[in-house]
Amino acid sequence: KKQFRFKMAAGFGVEQEWKAKGGVSMGTTIMAAEFDGGVIIAADSRTTTGSYIANRIADKLTRVTDNIYCCRSGSASDTQAVADIVAYYLDVHCVQIGEPASVATAANLFREVCYTNRDSLSAGIICAGYDPKRGGQVFSIPLGGMCVRQPIAVGGSGSTYVMGHIDAKYREGMTRDECIDFLKECVALAMARDGSSGGVIRMGIIDKNGIERLLFKGTDIPRFYED
């Protein structure tokens, strides 16, 4: 049984027990990148239990608020619980301040939960979204609870296969369409090499108007030397 501990700065807290019933892992490829006008998040859709594919159409792009989403990697149950806790506190925060929460606030809530429970969690999170003050932002919260803002972030087991490609091809200030093509290419390359990544490519484009969801499957997914 895992127990999550989380206390808010104002002095009140939550202590909610979540039962861990299995070893379902989101061995995965998740990505997020800033573009001129917002951010784009992307992920594959494979969830594994050991070498068994438990779900081939999982959605690893999870809503936190209307303009903030997270990409989840690690234990499926851990990351779902963390996302639920952060979404709850952000809802309360928005009511208290009377306006939408900032992306930085959401990222720091993820950091607080992941760091406080670092010994019992297997959760790698990318928090990305748009707010009127700072525009599109991407924050990486890897295992252990560190939080750092980056123009592009990648995580999961497939990330090691595309690091060099990202270093060579990414540039800041990409247009919306250029960023879509780049993330689609990166996730497809990781899916081709990583046994724990696969299925379809899910993508979300977040800007001042909210989120637009995209799905790439079958022949929509780029192929490379195999052709």
Cβ pair 189, 154 in contact under 8 A:
no
Residue 91 CB neighbour total at 10 angstroms: 13
Q: Give the Cα separation of 168 and 174 in Å (integer).
A: 14
Active-site residue 49, yes or no?
no
DSSP string, 11-26: S-EEEEEE------EE
Please give the distance of CA 208 from its chain centroid, rounded to a whole number: 19
First to last CA, the chain: 48
- Report how far residue 86's alpha carbon sits from residue 106's, in angstroms, rounded to the nearest whole number: 7
Structure tokens at 51: 């070498």
Single out the catalytic residue among 28, 47, 48, 65.
28
Distance CA 194, CA 220 (A): 19
- Nearest Cα to 54, choosing from 20, 18, 81, 28? 28
Any bridge partners for residue 3, and if so which?
Answer: 17
Catalytic residues: 28
